[in-house]
Structures are given as C-alpha cells and as structure tokens.
Amino acid sequence: MRYLVAAVWISVSLLACEDRDPIVGPDNNGEEQPAEEEQPAEEEQPVGEEPPVGEEQPVEEEQPVEEEPPVEEEQRTEDGDRARLMEMRREIDALIGDAEGASIADCRYAGLGSKPCGGPWEYIVYSVASTDSTALVERLTAYDAFEDEMNALYGYISDCSIPNEPALVFRDGRCGKE
C-alpha cells in the first residue's frame, strides 16, 4: 500500500508542476525556458469540400517511393555465439599472457563469465606488471555481457554454485593460483 500511495503522490506532484518547473520541465537543465510563441495553425479543408472560388490550392505530386533492398541481417545461431564466446576467451587469455611479475604484489584475479544464476564461472589470475588492466576489464565486461545475453536467449541454466576465490601464488616469476 505504501508503494501505491508513493506512486500516486509522485504522479500528482509531477502533474502539478507541469512544464513550469525548471527541473521537471521539458529540457531538464535547471534553467527556465522562455515561453515559445505559438504559431498560427493552418486552416484545414474539410474532407470532400471544394476550396473557395478564386483560391488556388497547391497540387501535391506523388513522389515515386524507392524501395530499399532488404538488409540481410546475419542470423545468430547458438553454435555461432559459442564460437564467438570462445574467441573472446582466447583474446582474454592472450592479453593476460604468462602473467609475469616481480612479486606476489603484482598478482590479481578477476571473475570470468556469467552464470545464469549470477556470478562468475571461474576466476582468472593476471599480473598488473604485464597485463593492461584497463583493456582486460573492458574485455571481461564484454565477455560477461555477451554470455549473459546468451543465457537469456538460449535459456541456459546452471547449478548456482559459487566458485571459490583463488589463493594467489607467485612461482618462477609468474602469478598463479593454488
């Protein structure tokens, strides 16, 4: 009931403000807008009536309508989307490389994938010393969004388990996980 009362109150408030409120107004930029001058409306002829004698009416010529050729939209398939997802994963792995660093302080991890129930499928380890973190975040975001879209499109389900965050290790100049 609280939500209904709040919704009605907001609706009434907005109606009461109309376009006079600089915040709620049409431009929503905080500045009051000058009143627009009204343009005189053109007189319309009722359907079926002839124009008055002595007045010429412009003749409307029909322009030939050029039909555009149909745009062939690439058909999405589940196999095609899986292949695209695998290619995105290869790009992420290539960006991470060997995760080389100088110490454990260079090691980080990030969630990868989008389970239908939420959360990542796994965690990947990378090194901030040898990986462009900004590019990695962009690729991970795109990967997760695409997989989330696939989950909805193809009706995927999962076990809803939550993977454990990795324990980072540093061996032989590389970041890894136990």
Question: Is 170 among the domain residues?
Answer: yes
Per the domain annotation, does 106 fall within a domain? yes
Domain that holds residue 127: 78-177
Residue 47 lies in a domain: no
| Residue 24 resides in a domain | no
DSSP labels, 85-138: HHHHHHHHHHHHTT-B-SSGGGEEEEEES--TTSS-SEEEEEETTTS-HHHHHH
DSSP state for residue 176 in the 8-state scheme: E
Q: Can you give the length of the chain in residues?
A: 178
The domain tally of the chain equals: 1
Q: Please, what is the average pLDDT of the chain?
A: 78
- pLDDT tens per residue, range 127-178: 999 999 999 999 999 999 999 999 999 999 999 999 999 999 999 999 999 9
Instruction: Report how far residue 144's alpha carbon sits from residue 111's, in angstroms, rounded to the nearest whole number.
Output: 9
Q: Could you tell me how many helices (H) and strands (E) the chain has, helices first?
A: 3, 4
The predicted-structure confidence for 75-116, as pLDDT tens digits, reads as follows: 999 999 999 999 999 999 999 999 999 999 999 999 999 999
Q: Residue 74: pLDDT band by 50, 70, 90 thresholds?
A: confident
Residue 10 lies inside a defined structural domain of this protein: no
Distance CA 143, CA 115 (A): 12
On whether residue 109 sits in a domain, the answer given is yes
pLDDT tens-place string over residues 15-56 = 444 444 444 444 444 444 455 455 555 555 555 555 556 555
| Any domain includes 162 | yes
User: Nearest to residue 119, comparing CAs of 152, 170, 74, 161?
Assistant: 161
Q: What is the pLDDT of residue 52?
A: 58
Residue 17 within a domain: no
